[in-house]
Amino acid sequence: MDIAFGIDIGGSGIKGAPVDLRTGELTAERLRIPTPATSTPLAVADIVAKLVGSFELPKKAPLGVAFPAPMDHGVVRFIANLDKSWTGVNLPALLRDVTGRHVTAVNDADAAGIGEQRYGAAKGRKGVVLVCTLGTGIGSALIVDGVLVPNTELGHLEIDGVGAESRAADSAREREGLSFEAWAERLQRYFETVEMLLSPDVIVIGGGVSKKHTEFLPLLNLRAKVVPAKLRNAAGIVGAATAAAVAHGGATKTSKKAKS
C-alpha cells in the first residue's frame, strides 16, 4: 500500500493530507480547519469527515489519526486540551462510522515520533530517543532502539508543584507573551528533569514552533543531543498515516527518495 490519509487533531486546528508512504511526503497540500470552540467528539468527527471528503483518495486508503491524548488501544484514556466528553470514546469506531474507512488512532506525539523515526530526524538512530512536541500541550514519544514505548505522558510531569505543560508548552509562551529567552529557561528546567529520569541520547523537538528552533534550542544546555524535528508539524500526519498503513495492509518499504 502506498497511500494512506493522515489527520492530526490538535487544540487549535485539525489538519489532514494524503501521504506517500514510500517517501513520507504529502501528495497534496495539507488542509486545515480550526478546531471548534466546543470540541466534542461529534463536532470533531464532522470535520474529519469533511477533510477526508475533500481529497481524491484510493478507495482502500486507510485513515491514520493523531490525537492529543493517551490512546488505550483506540480508546481515549483522559483528555487535557479538548472537550472532556472525549474520555472513554473509541476513536477508530467513531471515525470508521463517518468515513467508511479503516481507521487507526495513535497519540499525537507518538505519531510525530513514528514520522520522525521513519522519515526524519530520528531515522536510523539507536539508543533512547525522545521526541517532544511543543504546542498547545507538551507531547512525548519514547523510542528505544527503534521501538516506540507508546503513551508516555511526560508533558504532565509535575515540576516545582505545577504540571509541566502549563508552564513550558508553546501555548504558555504565547499566552504569557514570553521572550524566547524566558521560555528557554522553562524548557531547560523541564528537559533537565526529563533527562534526570530517562537519560535520552537524543531529544528531537517538534511542534509548529520547531521551525523557529534557532531562537531557543541554542539556549538549552543538556547532556543529550538536541535536534529540531525534520518533518516539522507534518510529522503527526505522516506518522499517523504510517501507523494506519502498518495496521491495515502492511508497511510499505521506504524508497531511496525518502528523506533522511
Q: Which residues bind ligand BGC (CB under 6 A)?
A: 68-70, 80-81, 107-109, 133, 135, 137, 139, 153, 155, 165
99 or 171: whose CB is closer to ligand BGC? 171
- In the complex, which residue's CB is closest to ligand BGC? 137
3-state secondary structure of 117: helix
20 or 110: whose CB is closer to ligand BGC? 110
Beta strand residue intervals within the chain, DSSP E: 3-9, 13-20, 25-26, 31-34, 63-67, 71-72, 75-76, 103-107, 128-134, 138-144, 147-149, 158-159, 162-163, 202-206, 225-228
3-state secondary structure of 32: strand
Contact 160, 153 (CB under 8 A): no
23 or 117: whose CB is closer to ligand BGC? 117
16 or 139: whose CB is closer to ligand BGC? 139
> Which residues, in sequence order, are CB contacts of 259 under 8 Å at separation 6+?
23, 24, 25, 119, 120, 123, 230, 231
